[in-house]
């Protein structure tokens, strides 16, 4: 519901489709939104496991692959930038970093690409991704993976962060912003994957869905972990 509220508050759609297995609860939520819609200016599917359900949506819909996306690692990457910014003492928007592949479980931080404009983290800390990593940088990724479970433990569920994340994706589409998002997309081909697998890769998102897939330069280890993610889902 946080996704629906966020999209409505950003005035991104004239119509909003809600899908839930609990029909009565869904009807109640819809009525609640309808009653409150006069105070706002006023087809997305958001669920988990996102990569698998994006594949299912693609297969059932018959839509071209560029029109079917999942929220993927969009939120993971944003939280990663936030935590890295805290560690480096800079604003999160000045820290460029990606978390890619499978959402949560076998996600991969692209350490080779982490940078504050002009300076890569790997240059500052050559021991990164080795047993000699005194900064314990891998703990940052662990925090990202565990964050949703921590929020669920404390408040019972996650909502606002993913809601705002999805609203941001909708905004890129509706306003044709051509922003790059790490979202779940069909990656057969660009990264040497031979199966019809949906995983998070940087994509240019515009009015017609995915207009381009950004080919990130990876280390051999990162490529191996990509293949592992693809094999896990396939």
Residue 29, SS3 per DSSP: helix
Are the C-beta atoms of residues 73 and 61 closer than 8 Å to each other?
Answer: no
103 among known catalytic residues: yes
CA geometry: angle 229, 69, 20, nearest 5 deg: 100
Domains identified in the chain and CATH numbers: 2-43 (no CATH), 74-233 (3.90.110.10)
Peptide bond into 49 cis (omega under 30): yes
Two tokens at 133? 């990593």
Give me the tens of pLDDT residue by residue for the chain, a chain 234 residues long: 777 777 777 777 767 778 888 888 888 787 777 656 655 655 445 667 888 889 999 999 899 999 999 999 999 999 999 999 999 999 999 999 999 988 777 789 999 999 998 899 988 888 887 888 888 999 999 999 998 888 888 888 888 888 889 999 999 999 999 999 999 999 888 778 888 999 999 999 999 999 999 999 998 888 888 888 888 777
Are the C-beta atoms of residues 17 and 44 closer than 8 Å to each other?
Answer: yes
* C-alpha to C-alpha distance for 52 and 75, rounded to whole angstroms: 17
Q: Reduced to 3 DSSP states, what percent helix, strand and coil does the chain have, rounded to the nearest 5?
A: 50, 15, 35
| The one catalytic residue among 96, 103, 125, 141 | 103
């Amino acid at each position: 519901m946080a996704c629906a509220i966020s999209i409505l508050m950003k005035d991104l759609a004239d119509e909003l489709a809600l899908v839930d297995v609990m029909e009565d609860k869904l009807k109640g939520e819809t009525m609640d939104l309808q009653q409150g819609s006069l105070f706002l200016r006023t087809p997305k599917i958001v669920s988990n496991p996102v990569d698998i359900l994006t594949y299912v949506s693609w297969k059932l819909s018959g839509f071209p692959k560029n029109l079917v996306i999942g929220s993927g690692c969009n939120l993971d990457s944003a939280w990663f930038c936030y935590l890295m910014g805290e560690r480096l003492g800079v604003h999160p928007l000045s820290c460029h970093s990606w978390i890619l592949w499978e959402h949560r479980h076998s996600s991969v931080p692209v350490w080779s690409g982490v940078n504050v404009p002009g300076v890569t983290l790997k240059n500052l800390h050559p021991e990164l991704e080795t047993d000699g990593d005194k900064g314990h940088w891998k703990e940052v990724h662990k925090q990202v993976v565990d964050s949703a479970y921590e929020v669920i433990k404390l408040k019972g569920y996650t909502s606002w962060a993913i809601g705002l994340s999805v609203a941001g994706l909708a905004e890129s589409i509706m306003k044709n912003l051509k922003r790059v998002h790490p979202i779940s997309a069909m990656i057969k081909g660009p990264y040497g994957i031979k199966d019809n697998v949906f995983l998070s890769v940087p994509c240019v998102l515009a009015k017609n869905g995915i207009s381009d897939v950004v080919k990130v330069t990876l280390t051999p280890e990162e490529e191996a972990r990509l293949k592992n993610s693809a094999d896990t889902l396939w």
